């Protein structure tokens, strides 16, 4: 759903209800919403604000800073996905349509088939795991296309550099120099306060953030990972991932 509000109107909405209500209403990811607020210099409640307010604490509201541009309009169009700030202009994150992916590697085509099955009727911000049958990818329907595009590009580079991809139930490995590296692509989850929890354990929801993370290694203490940031995207880090794999098998 398109957002087309004045800066003051969006500010009022942000301080009226938790951000989760806006995320659900406009089908926008947490990262996209926070980026939009930052771009227009609109403050949002700090962590714990709503729970403390509900508990009866007196909470102060951060005033809306003055804007030299006057009554500025805030516009968000879901079609313009993966858009960063003006400083960062990545070109590698274009929307990828599943109908135009016939040149995908076989492992990615296999993952695409399972995603099509599992995504039916799922909320856009609910994560789907297909690693039990295909590549270890754990993302929401909203970024399936982008995830497949990333994995296809990565696998092509792995094969170009003499490596292989191995997919077994619940595990995916990249073989480089005779050594197997456990890998997983996932979408970061963001903890959002539930506006109307039925039970105490239902107080928070974990929703998809739109941020992709690629990890090499099973153990957290020895794993290496790359992710989207405010000014970079995961697709632009494939060369760095390949270099890391080459260095590891040489040690």
What is the 3-state secondary structure of 33-70?
HHHHHHHCCCCCCCCCHHHHHHCCCCCCCCCCCCCCCC
Task: Dig out the tokens for 102 from the structure.
Answer: 């016939």
Q: Which of 22-26, 66-70, 82-86, 147-151 has the lowest mean pLDDT?
A: 82-86
Rounded Cα distance, 30 and 128, in Å: 18
**What's the confidence (pLDDT) of residue 249?**
59
**What's the confidence (pLDDT) of residue 208?**
81
For 9-27, what is each residue's pLDDT tens digit? Answer: 999 999 998 877 777 777 7
Q: Tell me the C-alpha to C-alpha distance, in Å, between residue 214 and each of 16, 147, 166.
A: 36, 10, 16
Residue 95 has pLDDT above 50, yes or no: no
Q: What does pTM read for this prediction?
A: 0.60
Residues 6+ positions from 21 with CB-CB distance below 8 Å: 195
102 against 151, higher pLDDT: 151
Number of H helices, E strands in the chain: 7, 9
- E strand map for the chain: 3-6, 73-76, 128-129, 137-139, 164-168, 171-176, 179-193, 204-216, 224-227
Whether 165 contacts 184, CB under 8 Å:
no
Whether 194 contacts 205, CB under 8 Å:
yes
């Amino acid at each position: 759903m398109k957002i087309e509000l004045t800066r003051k109107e969006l500010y009022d909405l942000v301080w009226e209800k938790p951000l989760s209500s806006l995320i659900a209403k406009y089908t926008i990811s947490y990262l996209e919403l926070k980026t939009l607020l930052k771009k227009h210099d609109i403050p949002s409640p700090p962590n714990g604000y709503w729970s403390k307010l509900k508990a009866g604490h007196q909470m102060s509201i951060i005033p809306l800073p003055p804007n030299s541009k006057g009554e500025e309009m805030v516009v968000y169009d879901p079609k313009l996905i993966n858009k960063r700030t003006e400083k960062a202009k990545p070109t590698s994150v274009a929307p990828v349509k599943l109908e135009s992916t016939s040149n995908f590697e076989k492992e990615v085509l296999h993952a695409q088939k399972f995603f099509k099955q599992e995504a039916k009727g799922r909320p856009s911000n609910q994560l789907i795991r297909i690693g039990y049958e295909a590549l270890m990818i754990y993302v929401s329907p909203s970024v399936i296309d982008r995830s497949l595009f990333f994995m296809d590009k990565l696998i092509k580079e792995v094969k170009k550099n003499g490596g292989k991809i191995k997919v077994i139930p619940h595990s995916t490995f990249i073989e480089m120099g005779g050594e197997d590296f456990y890998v997983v692509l996932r979408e970061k989850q963001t903890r959002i306060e539930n506006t109307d929890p039925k039970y105490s354990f239902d107080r928070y929801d974990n929703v998809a953030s739109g941020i992709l993370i690629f990890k090499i290694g099973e153990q957290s203490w020895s794993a290496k990972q790359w992710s989207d940031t405010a000014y970079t995207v995961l697709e632009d880090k494939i060369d760095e991932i390949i270099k890391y794999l080459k260095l590891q098998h040489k040690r």
